[in-house]
Amino acid sequence: MEQNKINLTIDNIPVSVEKGTTILDAAKACGIEIPTLCHLNLKGTCVNNRPASCRMCVVEVAGRRNLAPACATTVMEGMEVRTSSMRVINARKTILELILSNHPHDCLTCGKSGNCELQDLARKLNVKEVPYDGGEVSCYAVDKTVSIVRDMNKCILCRRCETMCNEYQSVGAIGSMNRGFDTTVAPAFGKNLADTDCTYCGQCVAVCPVGALTEVDNTSRLLKDLADPEKIVVVQTAPAVRAALGEEFGYPAGTSVTGKMVAALRQLGFKYVFDTDFAADLTIMEEGSELLGRLGAYLEGDKSVKLPILTSCCPAWVNFFEHQFPDMLNYPSTARSPQQMFGSIAKTYWAEKIGAPREKIVVVSIMPCLAKKFECERDEFKTNGNPDVDYSLSTRELASLIKEANIDFKALQDADFDAPLGESTGAAVIFGATGGVMEAALRTAYELYTGKTLAKVDFTAVRGFEGVREASVNLNGTTVKVAVAYGLANARRLMEDIKAGRSEYHAIEVMACPGGCIGGGGQPLHHGDFDIVKARSKALYGEDAAKPVRKSHENPYIQKLYEEYLGKPLSEKAHALLHTHYFAK
Amino acid sequence: MENNKISCEALAKVKAICSAHNNDAGELINILHETQNTLGYLPHEVQSLVAECLGVPATRVNGVVSFYAFFTEKPKGKHPISVCLGTACYVRGSEKVLDEVKKVLGIEVGETTPDGRFSLDCLRCVGACGLAPVMTIDGKVYGNVDPKNVKKILESDEYKD
């Protein structure tokens, strides 16, 4: 153990760290934060972007002629590191000034203002002027999709987005193109992002240190709708939003702010504040029944049944398998995502209940996700051109809207969701974390299949932050094997196993983003600190544990919906309103 | 536009090159070299096919092709022209030669004339500095080029077709 330790000094502080540690991490261990820009290490995932290309983290190492990049230099015995000598400070400042010399100076109106790592560094390093002019100012057209906006004029070539898209998601919609001054991160062949295999997961946006990658902003559209007295504007909020929104208002990561979020939404002017969690319970009813249906048929000897069944809640994952596995579209569950189930029920069942035509109702969703914006636009989720969910805002957009409306978030009294589409169980709230959908499905599937009551509703084996996890459940003597994955590169491996006939699973849950929706592309920025994302999961599991009802099939409002309207899970009406089909792309 | 011109035969050749390299993504640069030697250039359709054969995203292939100056996405002319911009040629006025070629042909560096006869590139030194400024057409070296003679050279019978 001890011989694996390396002893060195950083700014004269003696440190002892594991062999192989970078200077950056060793410094962090003794409380010294070395500034970084291109570096991104989501510890515990495969994401470790350290091209050492920005040189912001340079440090002085005694006996070494050149300054060393702390992110990519490993510690050595007896090393003497200086992280803030005159030479280091001057070098960092020059580097930053050079980056700024080729960066637009429109900070005041930039979507990233106040949340920009480049802006922060300029302030931190006390940059007051940019002494370098000239050079080439790149001029790229802004590329706008329904989810993501790319403005490569602002790109600083850190390549974090490229790492997320290629290594973490294995999509490769964007990559480095050209060289020298012409270098840019872009789709192949000068295409627009909308013409690529982009899944709109938004992880490129989540890690972009500057304003080069941002989401499509729907806040003005929403304000306009809220001001229209002719419209009934209702909102649904995804589970992961409540676990992260507080961070934008100074709460520590992992604080659940459900009550304040509901109060803020009401104050913004929404007539009804509903919960996507209601639809998550509904998803479990449909998807769980589908799982049991396929499993039952399989056990009775029907070998044509497609197993494993794959979850279909994550819109980036749906885009992924439509593009990458077009010949395997009969594996995923046909159940729509909770967002779309909500929209469908709101504009039929609930519209009838309040006696309003669907055209008058505007369904807005608050999502931790950017792919949800794309999902709203899918033609199959429209009736006569009217979308089930009109549009979606990210958690970040909601936070900026609350600030814009001058709402004192911290001072708000907790409020409750409206009935009936605001009532949910503990099973629904954990949908926002990796493993949560599977756990919710298992709680219901177990009880429906065995007729027994679960002694313990927690399926802890599917929880956690391993990229792929597996568990077995005994259903009346039948062992059901399930797997949970986050990250589309992990999902790809599972899909290839299925294709090759190597998969032993009966059901697989996939979420595209790190840690599930809590690490979604629309969430408050974690700036590379994956512990923030992990903390959010505690908020969700905490809410689950505190709920009086923790199994979807026991949600009384869901039971009522089936009694009054849908009949039973997988009924003809349920199929028409709550299921979908997939398209090879 | 030129993408439509890729024949099935050419695409089959590309596939053969990829499989000769075991469709190994690590062989990408070698595959692109051979493909360009065979087809003369690397149009988008061919890059996409290489990506498909190697099981990598098209961005990876396009990234490599757009990075290295050697690779070209446009077909070269029947008679590729290279003007030397090495130090010796440059001080002896090769830039004026280059300007004259551009003017006569109406194309920029890296482009091909619409009739497909000529394409224009620059290079750094062909090892004939004694003859500076130097220009090559089809590999044939023209030394001591006077910008005034460029038009005559380009209109010579050798390059008529």
Candidate from B44, B47, B63 with C-beta closest to A175? B63
Active site residue A517: yes
Candidate from B47, B51, B57 with C-beta closest to A166? B57
Question: Phi/psi of residue A131, each to 5°?
Answer: -70, -15
Residue that the structure tokens 């077909």 belong to: B75
Query: Is the peptide bond preceding residue B133 cis, with omega within 30 degrees of 0?
Result: yes
Smallest Cα–Cα separation from B86: which of B119, B118, B137, B131?
A: B131
User: Could you tell me if A139 and A199 are in contact, meaning their C-beta atoms sit under 8 angstroms apart?
Assistant: no
* Arithmetic mean of pLDDT, A177-197: 95
Confidence of residue A136 (pLDDT cuts 50, 70, 90): low
The reported pLDDT for the residue numbered A12 is 96
- Listed in sequence order, the residues at least 6 apart from B64 whose beta carbon sits closer than 8 Å to its beta carbon are B28, B29, B32, B71
User: Could you tell me if A489 and A317 are in contact, meaning their C-beta atoms sit under 8 angstroms apart?
Assistant: no
Say how far apart CA A235 and CA A247 lie, in whole Å: 21
Candidate from A171, A173, A176 with C-beta closest to B63? A176
Does ipTM surpass 0.90 in this model?
no
Q: Alpha carbon of B83 to those of A21, A121, B41, B59: distances in Å? A: 51, 46, 20, 32
User: Could you tell me if A438 and A482 are in contact, meaning their C-beta atoms sit under 8 angstroms apart?
Assistant: yes
pLDDT in tens, chain B (161 residues): 444 568 899 999 999 999 999 999 999 999 999 999 999 899 999 999 999 999 999 999 999 999 998 899 988 889 999 999 999 999 999 999 999 999 999 999 988 999 989 999 998 888 899 999 999 999 899 999 999 999 999 999 999 87
Active site residue A84: no
- Global pTM reads 0.92
- CA-based nearest residue in chain A for residue B72: A178
Q: Is the pLDDT of residue A434 over 50?
A: yes
- Percent of chain A, pLDDT > 90? 92
pLDDT in tens, A41-64: 998 888 888 888 999 999 999 999
- Percent of chain A, pLDDT > 70? 99
Whether B74 and chain A come into contact, CB under 8 Å, resolves to no
Q: What is the phi-psi region of residue A186: left when phi exceeds 0, alpha when psi lies from -120 to 50, beta otherwise?
A: beta
Say how far apart CA A161 and CA A35 lie, in whole Å: 19
**Which amino acid belongs to residue A135?**
G
Whether A185 and chain B come into contact, CB under 8 Å, resolves to no
Whether A107 and chain B come into contact, CB under 8 Å, resolves to no
pLDDT in tens, A282-331: 999 999 999 999 999 998 999 899 999 999 999 999 999 999 999 999 99
Residue B11 CB: number of other CB atoms within 10 A?
14
Residue A194 tokens read as: 């909308």
A476, with CB counted inside 10 A (0-12, 13-18, 19+), is exposed
Whether A180 and chain B come into contact, CB under 8 Å, resolves to no
Polymer length in residues for chain A: 585
Q: What kind and span of H or E run contains A411? A: none
Query: Active-site residue among A289, A333, A394, A503?
Result: A333
Smallest Cα–Cα separation from A271: which of A308, A306, A309, A226?
A: A226
